[in-house]
Amino acid sequence: MRIAIVGAGVAGAIMARGLAQLPGLDVTCLERVAPDDQAEAGTGLNIGPNAVGALSRVDAELANAITAAALPWDTWRVTLTDGTELMNIRMRDVAPSAGWRLRWSELYRVLRQGADGLIRYGADITDMGPTGDGSGRTFLRWTDATGAHALDDIDLLIGVDGRFSKVRQRFAGDAKARQVGVAIFRTLLADTSEGVINDYEQWFNRDNRLLGFRVPPDHIYISGTFPISVGGDITDAHKAREALREAYTPSDGTLSEQGQWLVEAVCNPTTNLHWARLQESEVRIFEPDSDVLYLGDSSHGMVPTLGQGATQAIEGSCTALMVIRDLVAAGNFDPREWLGAVSDARAARIRFVMNFSLEASDTLLAGSDPVAGTLKKTEPAFQSKLKQLYHDFDATWPLQGQERAAQ
Ligand SMILES: Cc1cc2nc3c(=O)[nH]c(=O)nc-3n(C[C@H](O)[C@H](O)[C@H](O)COP(=O)(O)OP(=O)(O)OC[C@H]3O[C@@H](n4cnc5c(N)ncnc54)[C@H](O)[C@@H]3O)c2cc1C
């Protein structure tokens, strides 16, 4: 059975490694960038315990390799920028394990090393589509440093080429995006905080929020948000360093030691800020007429509030691998059935994660009260959803080995 994977990012590298270990599958994975080019990945990631749990169950060796490159995400603290504490969650109280904190480029390095020899780098896709014979099969054309290449009669095409997915655009048109009305900037800096910034924290001044944490080897990741009009642009006036200083400084000027370090770091003119708007896109798991599967950002762009983007790319890939492993073990090599089974396992879960991420963004919206909004997150209703988020990563996995035999 011929499988082609477009994109060797978070989901693509995990899928390439996992599928190549199964019998009867011929796996080709195409990646646009060169092997050591992680230019798009100059940032830090906090990855939820649900991804740690899912990957540990599906591929413990790969999970251990990420753990070795990461720091544990043990706590989630929320304060005002003047230092007033609003919430301090220990991850072990809401999750089966800690999460991970690491640089995005490190995650790519570890995952791509895990798929060593399976990825064709520097691939520029020139054409793709259905074979046109009604079989559901697809084809790919691409060029790389060695020339032009073709792959015909692909039984399963996995489009994991990120949030601007060419595969999804080719088979389903542009994904509709929904703007939330929040601007976000991100930066990765050398750690000069001398221990002031460590595990995952958020700091509010009115509806403006900073977020930061330390990542190996010696860096601090900072992200900041503030409201803008829904669908509006982020203007130069929004980006001006003095406007940012004003946004995160309390009206009486009293910043905590952490607040002071963060505001100075963000407002330093040499700090390179990367800008985006919070948005989510419609979910699409597979194509109805062609055997094409989407995972990660190509399937579901989500707001980053709960750190579930890469987390869901990992969790979703693990679910897909469990489903496919189970079907292969039962001798089922029908890609239509694989797609239906992955969709059954993922659809409700991803809807829950996206809705919950949006719900948790309430304190980022214009005019929101961070004190009332954060205190609500300490109440049983929110805490119970958080436990569901972090624990239920395998609730819909197919039955395994002995469990299946016992049925
Ligand atoms: C600044 C920033 C901070 C973030 N912080 C967090 C966080 O803290 N926690 C979290 O969980 N998530 C976070 N995310 C989201 C997370 O990074 C993404 O959700 C995750 O990388 C999605 O994984 P993916 O495999 O779907 O796509 P990607 O990791 O984006 O991988 C897509 C791959 O496809 C390749 N590609 C693209 N087009 C083509 C093509 N035409 N042909 C071949 N290859 C192609 C790309 O080069 C890339 O390697 C953040 C995102 C950003 C931008």
Strands 208-215 and 201-205: antiparallel
pLDDT tens figures, 163-176:
999 999 999 999 88
Residue 395: pLDDT above 90? no
Q: Is the CB of 243 under 6 A from ligand 1?
A: no
Give me the pLDDT at residue 40, please. 57
| Alpha carbon of 256 to ligand 1 centroid (Å) | 34
Residue 402's pLDDT band, with cuts at 50, 70 and 90, is: very low
Report yes or no: 160 and 342 within 8 Å, Cβ to Cβ: no
Report yes or no: 285 and 293 within 8 Å, Cβ to Cβ: yes
Strands 44-47 and 99-103: antiparallel
Residue 140: pLDDT above 90? yes
CB count within 10 Å of CB 93 equals: 10
pLDDT tens figures, 11-33:
999 999 999 999 999 999 999 99
Domain segments of the chain as ranges: 2-177+279-395
String of DSSP letters for 139-185: EEEEEETTEEEEEEEESEEEE---TT-HHHHHHH-PPPEEEEEEEEE
pLDDT tens figures, 301-351:
999 999 999 999 999 999 999 999 999 999 999 999 999 999 999 999 999
Q: Is the CB of 304 under 6 A from ligand 1?
A: yes
Residue type, 32: R
How far is Cα 235 from Cα 246, in angstroms, rounded to an integer?
16
Residue 185, token pair as written in the block: 């900037």
| Alpha carbon of 315 to ligand 1 centroid (Å) | 14
Residue 127: pLDDT above 60? yes
Architecture of the domain made up of 2-177+279-395? 3-Layer(bba) Sandwich (3.50)
Ramachandran area for residue 336 (φ above 0: left; ψ -120 to 50: alpha; else beta): alpha
CA-closest residue to ligand 1 atom 30 = 162
| Alpha carbon of 9 to ligand 1 centroid (Å) | 6
Q: Is the CB of 7 under 6 A from ligand 1?
A: yes
